[in-house]
Structure 1
Amino acid sequence: MSFGRTSLGSGASGSRATGGGGQRPMSDINVTPLVDVMLVLLVIFIITAPLMASSIRLDLPRTDAGKTGDVPKSVSVAVDAKGQVFVNDQPVTEAELAARLTSAAAASRDTEVQLRADQTVPYGRIVALMGIANKAGLSRIGFVTEAPAPTR
């Protein structure tokens, strides 16, 4: 294979656009830069598409009713090892507990019941108290625990 001059006639090879070198011009397109640009655009599109879809502009109404600094109301319910129920550290019966939780639910549906129970209290007793709170209209129940002692 020879890439030298071809015999096309006199002076034909010297008038080419390649400067008279006699080589044929390259007719292939180099697609590497095109692929690079397309991959960069694809990455940009993948990153920005979710941001554009979730950027819904809303003009929300303003109110002072629910400031973020407001502390949610809560009722403390405790059960000791003997099974005695306390509401805000006062001993109550189950009927009194239901009445107090119903009045707390009437004041605010967002009231949270903070349930503290001794480890020895049976699971069924805790479930019964949760049922009383649910019947009263309070569905937010938080279980209060103690942090473990630091190990040294």
Structure 2
Amino acid sequence: MAMGGGGGGGGGGRGRGRRRARKKPLSEINVTPLVDVMLVLLIIFMISAPLLTVGVPVELPKTEASAVETDKPPVTVSIDQEGAIFVARDETAYDALIERVTDAAGDTDKEELSIFVRADGRAPYQAVARVMARLSAAGFTKLNLITDTAAES
């Protein structure tokens, strides 16, 4: 009596090993990378959106200008961060500015006198512009803005 195939072969040569089941293609989209990219984009837009509405950040007054050389000693007009005006070291009202600068200049001609305008970087732009316009209208032609030199790289 023949026992057909011996202990568990299953018949006809197919029984040597199990066939691996083929992997079916995934019909689902893996959303994890999509969510990661979207979160990164969301963070970038949240950070950059307020910067677009504010404008260009400006840090003044640092420049790379060279030193100004003058023959005669200049008159220094300073403006602090609140907009107060000083001629030399004495506080001066806006209305008395021309008189104080003329007194500080002595007998120097208006067109030859150098005036150094030193303004705090946090001073209101309007205060600096008004002082310079007032000096220019009074006939002072050599107006120099004094700035901090930029750090050397």
Give the TM-score normalised by structure 2: 0.47
Which structure has the higher relative contact order (CA within 8 Å, separation 6+)?
A: 2
